[in-house]
Structure 1
Amino acid sequence: MRVAIGNDRLSRLRPKTYIQEPHFQYWSGFFSTKNAYLDGYWQGEKYFERISGVIRDAFTFSVPMSDRNQALADEIDTCNSVSVHVRRGDYITNPEPVNFILAVLLSIT
């Protein structure tokens, strides 16, 4: 699980411990780790439970929505809504996903 970083010229600037995410599920050893370089996605909700309030505050709008945006938000709240996020890089080098994306969009309209 823990592997020391190599002895290159910059190694003295790096933490002494390198940890690669062992899997995509929550890893309970995460919070016992100190001064380490973490490699992975570390995106499970349990990693952020302790500071969920801070995160929610950071993503709360501090300025009220414009009338137009509020009307759109109200419309989204009152119907079955879908949000689609497409990462451009996923299909620039490989156009195949475009067909899949189009099929999905057609199925939800």
Structure 2
Amino acid sequence: MVVAEARQLNAEQSITGVLVFDGAQVCQYVEGEVGTIDALIERLMVDPRHEQLKVLHHATLQGERRFARWRLGYLMLDDGRDLTRFDALSGEGAIASFLEQLPLVDLEP
């Protein structure tokens, strides 16, 4: 349900990206206009479905979007991997580690 809602909102606001879920934690990469992304982060911060939200990296997009066609790609880690390793990461290291998780992503609504 959350993924379907996010895909709809992302389409309306020209946000693209990927969400990875390990059964307990979520890690998401989003791209869009700075003001739109800032507003998204503010909404997520006050959404009671999200606890301990932490921004690992926030930067101005250089060049083209990585996920320009994805309203919200979705990957469920069901092979024993979890997202706890991201807790200690930030910046480009967080992005690189996140992108390694994306071999199989559900792109459809």
TM-score interval (norm. to shorter): under 0.3
TM-score, scaled to structure 2: 0.20
- Structure with higher Rg: it is 1
TM-score, scaled relative to structure 1: 0.20
Q: Could you say which structure has the greater relative contact order, defined with CA pairs below 8 angstroms and 6 or more residues apart? A: 2
Higher normalized helix content (fraction of residues): 1
